[in-house]
Structures are given as C-alpha cells and as structure tokens.
Amino acid sequence: MLDIKITAYTVLGFATANCSIDFVWSQRQQGANSYGQLGLGHTDDKITPQKMPNLNFKPKWIGGGGGHSVFLDVYVAETGELYACGWNNNGQLGLEHQDNVTRLQKLSLPIRMQKVACGWNHTIALSVEGKLYSWGSNAFGQLGHSPCSRGSIINTPTLIEDISDREFIDTCAGLRHTHAVEACGQTWSWGACKKGQLGIGERMDIVEKPVLISTLRGIRVKKVVAGSYHSACLTECGEVFCWGSNRYGQCTLADKTESLIPVKISSESCVNKCFIDIHSGWSHVVAVVEGGIVYSWGRCDYGQLGYTELSDGDSKRYQQEPACVPNLHDLRQIACGSEHNIVISGL
C-alpha cells in the first residue's frame, strides 16, 4: 500500500493501487460529488469505488475541501505540481477562473509545492522552500492577505507576503481559518476567530493577517491540525494542545466553554503517553501515541470516535476524555474526514 497523505474535509474516499490513486468514492447523503470533486468528469454521487480516468501522475498528498479536491504530485523531483477539481465559486481551485471543474486540471504555479490543505472554500499550499501560498475565499481573512471582505477572493496561488521572510514546515486549513508552523517551532494563525479557534486569547470576527500564538512561544510545535471551530497541535516533546470550540469536548474540558488559548491535554488516560501524530475532523480529534495506539475524543454522533461506549453513557453524544480506540493494530496511517476516519494497518 502506498504511503499517501490524505486530508479530506468532507466525505471523500481515495484508494491506492500500483503506486497511484486509482479509486474515488463519496457518501450519497452528503452530495459529495455535486461539484465534480471526485474528478470523474461528472457530478453524480458515487458510493462505491470508481477508477479515476486518465490519471497520468502519481499523487503524494491530497486535500479535500467543502466541495473541491487538490492533488499534489511530488514523485518526480522536478515537479511538486498541483491538480484540482470540483467547486470553484470562490476560485479555490487556483485555476485563475471561477468555473466548477469535473476533471483534474493542472495549476500554473510559481514554485514547487510539498503540501496542500483545503478549508471549506479556500486552499493553502506549502512550497519546498518553506513559503506559504493561498487562494480561494478571503471573506474571513483565511488567506492571510489584506484587505479582506465578504466578497473577497483570489483565484490564483498567491504568496502570503506578511510572513514570506519565514520558513515553514507545516500548515493546515479549518473551516474558515488557517494555521502554519515555522521551522523554529512557532505557530501562526489567521482567519475566523469567533470561537477562539486561532488560539490568540480573544474572540474576533476576522483576523486578516497572520498572528503568532504567543502562549505557545518557547514550545516547539511540529504539526498543527484544524477542525470547523477548533484547532490542535503536536509538539516535538510528544504533547498535544487544543483550543477553540469545546462544544463537543474537542479541548477535553469538562464543560462546553471555549478555550481561547492552547490547552495541554493532560487527561488521566493520557498520563505518561508520548503522542507521535494527530489528526482532526470537523469536531473530533484523533491522536496516536508510541506503539501505534490510537486515542480519540470529541463528537461521536456518527461513531467517529471508533468506540461504542462513552464514559457518560449513550445519552451524551460526545466524549471529552481521550479514550483508546479498540481493534487497531500495526497502525501505518490514519486520516480524518468531516465525521469519519480511515486507517491503514499492516494486517
């Protein structure tokens, strides 16, 4: 099985065979091909795997947004190219127009990329030189360009100038907010902040320029993830911090109070545990500790936590206490969609 990174914000599926992305599918009840985001040349929903036609490159990273998909090809050192399809009303495909596209089209890029992430209707990419480019809707400042407004869009990959003098190693996109991690371990955020999802200590409608998360200063972060209204990060020391909405226990707090700053996960179930990876869905979090053991917490309406019994009974459809997901062995890779997860194991 190919080691391919998948970040699907909506309900999308991708399967690999012979070192390429060969199959795509979606859940019918979500209308997950309404805009052609499966790249099949039409807008019919598909709940069973469909072979992708005329795929002449080998993707390494895939991002899924509210109705668009972006593929990154990094198998040839000279490429690092992006291909996109689907919903494009805000220019989130980066194709210099706003028409929906039902087959993958190649972006015209100024530089090679190493990672791509998709929000609801915006996209961000990290170049091989550690620079950040964004495009799509900027209505909430999620692109990191100013000024922004309700109708503000950018339909071509554009360098985020305010932090262009810094080198980044990771980035992620939430519903309408964005984060990035510097090579030195500092974490930046911008976009919507009504629920404290930027971690900057206050609620704001819009933060249109990247802001350093000051409470993480001195803590070396290596990965950051985002949900609809919450965010989380993994440090080099194996710690996890969460912030933003806690409506479904995403921040592991006992009540539903939002956390405006990053809070370290220190639940009894995680004592002396060293985290090595972290992922996020719309309103749930999945983390991996040494030994390949998986923990999850947050919303559980659709079984997205991977266990059937909640600590407070079935009447409570969320779990703020991280718990071990049973029946997972020899974990190789995990990815979160909006309300589902996909795991690759060695079994």
* Confidence band for 16, pLDDT divided at 50, 70 and 90: very low
Shared domain for 246 and 344, answered yes or no, is yes
Under 8 Å between Cβ of 85 and 69: yes
Domain-embedded: residue 262: yes
Domain boundary among 59, 92, 120: 120
Q: In sequence order, what are the residues at sequence separation of 6 or more whose Cβ sits closer than 8 angstroms to the Cβ of residue 126?
A: 113, 114, 115, 116, 132, 168, 169, 170, 171, 180
Shared domain for 333 and 253, answered yes or no, is yes
Domain-embedded: residue 143: no
Domain boundary among 54, 86, 120: 120
Q: What is the pLDDT, as a whole number, of residue 54?
A: 76
pLDDT in tens, 19-58: 344 455 554 334 478 999 999 999 998 888 888 887 888 8
Mean pLDDT of 317-336: 86
Share of residues in the chain with pLDDT > 70 (%): 86
Query: Which region among 18-27, 165-174, 237-246, 284-293 has the lowest average model confidence (pLDDT)?
Result: 18-27
User: Mean pLDDT for the chain?
Assistant: 87
Domain-embedded: residue 161: no
| Number of separate domains in the chain | 2
Mean pLDDT of 247-253: 94
Please determine, for residue 317, whether its predicted confidence score (pLDDT) is greater than 90: no
Q: Which of residues 330 and 315 earns the better pLDDT score? A: 330
Shared domain for 96 and 171, answered yes or no, is no
Give the domain range for residue 23: 1-120
Shared domain for 105 and 176, answered yes or no, is no
Mean pLDDT of 230-254: 96
Domain-embedded: residue 136: no
Q: What is the pLDDT, as a whole number, of residue 182?
A: 98
Domain boundary among 120, 144, 178: 120
pLDDT in tens, 75-112: 555 568 999 999 999 999 999 999 999 999 999 998 99
Domain-embedded: residue 260: yes
Q: What is the pLDDT, as a whole number, of residue 308?
A: 64
* Confidence band for 74, pLDDT divided at 50, 70 and 90: low
Residue 52 gets which letter from DSSP?
A: P
Measure the CA–CA gap between 209 and 163, rounded to whole angstroms: 9
Residue 261: count of CB within 10 angstroms of its CB: 17
CATH number for 176: 2.130.10.30
Q: What is the pLDDT, as a whole number, of residue 11?
A: 41
Shared domain for 338 and 205, answered yes or no, is yes
Shared domain for 218 and 335, answered yes or no, is yes
